[in-house]
């Protein structure tokens, strides 16, 4: 193999390897706090699961606060235990009485706060946790916005409280939402859950695909570099 050809092979292999490493380093690592509902039918009780990924490279997530709506409140909520975390539900008086199907409320759950009991229990970089409540009855059909605040161990607080714009563009920090459907609507529970967490699922799928492709590119680059090395030794 001529020296110029050998240098070309080495250069191509190095470029491919560098590109693969850059691809691995620039894969989409961010994800939003999302909520998944096992049912979305008005008047029903639903399990609402908040998925909380840690977006920091160094700090851990030590607290999550979700704020329930007051214009379309839930009469009652219960919390699913999470090992290593303490949950607290805080009620608050409503701005005005709320009525739905004979139910009259003047006070309702307002916030749910989950706090890590220790540094070890906090959500570490590269990890995620799920926090679930059972609440109901679900309000009248429409979009139920449930803002969330994520607190990191370094003091940073990320507010997931922005609603989608009229143009349909996703904001930088979208609030978790549930689309409540009318009774009798033909929408299976798993389909309803998928609709509320579609963006998170799509992001997970895209991230996995990108990592597989980048890994394959890196493998090809390493094989190419190996062949170049063998060729160089034979020439020598």
pLDDT tens digits, the chain, 236 residues: what are they?
544 444 444 444 444 444 443 444 433 345 799 999 999 999 999 999 999 999 999 999 999 999 999 999 999 999 999 999 999 999 999 999 999 888 899 999 999 999 999 999 999 999 999 999 999 999 999 999 999 999 999 999 999 999 877 777 788 999 999 999 998 866 544 444 443 444 444 444 444 444 544 555 545 455 455 544 544 455 55
Q: Structurally, how many domains does the chain consist of? A: 1
197 in a structural domain = no
User: In this structure, is residue 1 part of a structural domain?
Assistant: no
- Give the domain extent around 131: 34-187
Distance CA 215, CA 8 (A): 23
The CATH code of the domain that includes 136 is: 2.60.40.2230
Residue closest to 80 by CA, chosen among 125, 124, 129:
129
Give domain status of residue 166, yes or no: yes
Is residue 53 within 8 Å of residue 79, measured between CB atoms? no
**5, part of any domain:** no
Asked whether residue 206 is assigned to any structural domain, the reply reads no
Q: Give domain status of residue 157, yes or no.
A: yes
pTM of the full predicted structure?
Answer: 0.69
Which stretches does DSSP call E strand in the chain? 34-37, 46-53, 61-67, 76-79, 85-100, 103-116, 128-136, 142-145, 148-152, 157-160, 177-180
């Amino acid at each position: 193999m001529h020296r110029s050809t050998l240098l070309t092979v080495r250069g191509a292999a190095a470029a491919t390897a560098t590109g693969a490493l850059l691809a691995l380093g620039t894969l989409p690592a961010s994800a939003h706090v999302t909520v998944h509902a096992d049912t979305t039918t008005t008047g029903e009780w639903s399990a609402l699961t908040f998925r909380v990924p840690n977006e920091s490279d160094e700090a851990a997530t030590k607290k999550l606060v979700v704020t329930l709506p007051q214009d379309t409140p839930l009469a009652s909520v219960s919390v699913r235990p999470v090992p290593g975390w303490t949950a607290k539900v805080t009620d608050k008086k409503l701005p005005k009485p709320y009525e739905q199907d004979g139910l009259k409320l003047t006070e309702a759950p307002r916030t749910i706060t989950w706090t890590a009991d220790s540094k070890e229990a906090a959500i570490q970089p590269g990890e995620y946790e799920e926090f679930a409540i059972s609440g109901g009855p679900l309000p009248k059909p429409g979009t139920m916005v449930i803002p969330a605040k994520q607190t990191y161990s370094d003091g940073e607080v990320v507010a997931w409280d922005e609603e989608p714009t009229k143009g349909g563009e996703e904001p930088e920090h979208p609030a978790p939402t549930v689309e409540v459907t009318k009774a009798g609507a033909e929408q299976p529970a798993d389909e309803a859950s998928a609709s509320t967490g579609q963006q998170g699922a799509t992001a997970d799928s895209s991230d996995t695909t990108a990592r597989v492709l980048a890994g394959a590119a890196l493998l090809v680059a390493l094989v190419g570099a190996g062949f170049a090395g063998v060729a160089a030794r034979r020439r020598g």
